[in-house]
Amino acid sequence: MNDDQLLRYSRHIMLDEIGIEGQERILAAHALIIGAGGLGSPAALYLGSAGIGTMTLVDHDTVDMTNLQRQIAHTTARIGTPKVESIRQAVHAINPEVQIRCIAEQATDALLDQLVPQATIVLDCTDNYRTRQLINAACVRHGVPLVEGAAIRLDGQLMVIDPRDPQSPCYACIFPPEAEFEEVQCSTMGVFAPLVGLIGTQQAAEALKLVTGFGQSSVGRLQMLDARSMDWSTMHTTRNSDCPVCKEKN
């Protein structure tokens, strides 16, 4: 690290759990963030400010007026701009050293198979059940840790999947891919603005813990936040030996 980096990241370096070695791991890491909205905004801003070396952003949408209530990386001046480009500008305003690749496309199997193997950590910041399943399957195939987040109305969820850990359940162990779920989206159900910030920030925290190797990750725990009371509840989860996605990893 140069002198500017030692100053910029000094508050991390002062932590025994991170120090210079941990900060160097952050600088060398590559975060793949899929979804550049309510969850992706705080996740990208915190990872960028923390010094993540490379960031790939994937989202096919553009900034809309209705996004600005909660998607804090976007601004009124950037309405109509691709969300990935808007987040790139927001992160670079904080930390211009981060290498950012913007992909204004929908996440598909083919795209994920190209991007996931390049990543140190993947953050699923989408709001679509089918896409979550595709991301989970790609991370299991390529052995890359995944931080899942979700938020709707006043309820949030957080889950960490680590295919490198033989005990880690994957997303499909808990939510079967063939299950019929009615898609619920903010456009029809609404969402409490700070809730997406809380979950997205938690995703960034879990990602940095995995990158640096300190603390205890949320592997094997589905964490749920009720914003009405601000109470977290935890459901301990186990690997499903019949899971169609990760059973070959057992």
Catalytic positions: 186
* Pick from 158, 175, 56: nearest CA to 107: 56
In one letter, which amino acid is 165?
Answer: D
DSSP code of 144?
-
Residues 135 and 126 sit within 8 Å (Cβ to Cβ): yes
> Residue 75 phi/psi, 5° resolution?
-135, 165
* Pick from 84, 58, 61: nearest CA to 73: 84
Residues 154 and 1 sit within 8 Å (Cβ to Cβ): no
